């Protein structure tokens, strides 16, 4: 009895030992392993309190306001080839945006959006502004703007604000009358190298063809191009402006210092 009782007791002990070691050993081992790991992840928690939160006031200091002036220099004297009557520029429409944002492009591949087509063919800006609103919704643009239309040698100005995140300027304006020709700038950096520009003049010498109308003359009838060609330089087609590489307009960007 004593022997068998002892055997049963020993066997039970062994079972218990095996069961515990079988089930708990890995946990114990894991605990043993995790113990130092637990203490390691806890280490970064200590430095968390020290870093001070960034002051929101800094964002205001990282803004700048600019006056954008579109100044027409399109005259029969400078551009005599079939200079049209009623020459003018449509209301410049544009956006202040982040670098990766694309309002329009002239990389030889990009197709005009509906907004660019309407701007280039009719001078209307509503659809372009809708597209800019979409960029704003996506966080890729800060604002959109539409200046007033301007005579061939007139000028129009508008004020825009840029921020550290959104400091690129793009705009377009139709050459009118024309089939689908326009002037434009894209991705003008208002804060190159982290410093706001004070003044910048850009001569708009390149005339773009939106690729959405086949007309070849200023007064050509509407002739839709389907599918659209990529946006390209009018000069690439050997059209009206290739022999007169004088600017049709100048864009003046001035920082307003209060
Ligand atoms: Ca065209
Ligand atoms: Ca068209």
Name the closest ligand to CA 181: 1
User: Above pLDDT 70, what percent of the chain?
Assistant: 72
pLDDT tens digits for 134-143?
Answer: 999 999 999 9
Name the closest ligand to CA 228: 2
Same domain, residue pair 119 and 229:
yes
Q: Which long-range contacts (CB under 8 A, 24 or more apart) does 224-230 make?
A: 227/111, 228/111, 228/112, 228/117, 229/111, 230/107, 230/108, 230/109, 230/110, 230/111
Domain of 225 in residue numbering reads as: 64-256
Same domain, residue pair 31 and 102:
no
pLDDT tens digits for 25-40?
Answer: 333 333 334 444 444 4
pLDDT exceeds cutoff 80 at 50? no
Maximum Cα–Cα distance for the chain, whole Å? 127
**Of the candidates 130, 136, 128, the residue with the CA atom closest to the CA atom of residue 93:** 128
pLDDT exceeds cutoff 80 at 254? yes
pTM equals 0.75
Same domain, residue pair 162 and 249:
yes
**Of the candidates 36, 31, 93, the residue with the CA atom closest to the CA atom of residue 68:** 93
Number of domains in the chain: 2
Q: Report every protein residue that has its C-beta within 5 angstroms of ion ligand 1.
A: 179-180, 209, 213
Q: Give distance in angstroms: CA of 185 to centre of ligand 2.
A: 21
Q: Give distance in angstroms: CA of 217 to centre of ligand 1.
A: 9
pLDDT exceeds cutoff 50 at 13? no
Most confident of 25-34, 75-84, 102-111: 102-111
Phi, psi of 96 (to 5 degrees): -100, 125
Same domain, residue pair 92 and 175:
yes
Residue 237's SS3 state is helix
Same domain, residue pair 81 and 9:
no
Which CATH number characterizes residue 243's domain?
Answer: 2.60.40.2130
Q: What pLDDT, on a 0 to 100 scale, did the predictor assign at position 101?
A: 84
Q: Give distance in angstroms: CA of 53 to centre of ligand 1.
A: 54
């Amino acid at each position: 009895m004593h022997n068998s009782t002892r055997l049963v007791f020993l066997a039970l002990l062994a079972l218990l030992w095996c069961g515990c070691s079988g089930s708990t050993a890995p946990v114990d081992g894991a605990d043993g392993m995790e113990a130092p790991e637990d203490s390691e992840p806890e280490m970064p928690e200590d430095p968390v309190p020290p870093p001070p939160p960034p002051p929101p006031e800094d964002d205001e200091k990282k803004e700048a306001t600019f006056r954008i002036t579109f100044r027409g220099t399109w005259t029969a004297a400078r551009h005599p080839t079939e200079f049209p009557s009623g020459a003018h520029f449509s209301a410049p429409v544009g956006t202040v945006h982040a670098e990766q944002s694309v309002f329009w492009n002239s990389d030889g591949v990009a197709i005009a959006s509906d907004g660019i087509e309407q701007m280039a063919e009719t001078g209307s800006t509503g659809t372009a502004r809708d597209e800019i609103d979409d960029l704003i919704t996506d966080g890729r643009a800060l604002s959109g703007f539409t200046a007033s239309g301007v005579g061939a040698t007139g000028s129009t100005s508008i004020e825009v604000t840029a921020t550290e995140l959104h400091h690129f300027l793009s705009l377009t304006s139709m050459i009118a009358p024309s089939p689908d020709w326009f002037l434009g700038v894209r991705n003008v950096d208002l804060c190159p190298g982290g410093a706001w520009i004070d003044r910048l003049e850009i001569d708009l010498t390149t005339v773009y063809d939106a690729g959405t109308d086949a007309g070849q003359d200023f007064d050509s009838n509407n002739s839709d191009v389907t599918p659209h060609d990529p946006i390209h330089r009018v000069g690439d087609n050997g059209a009206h402006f290739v022999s007169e590489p004088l600017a049709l307009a100048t864009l003046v960007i001035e920082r307003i210092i209060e």
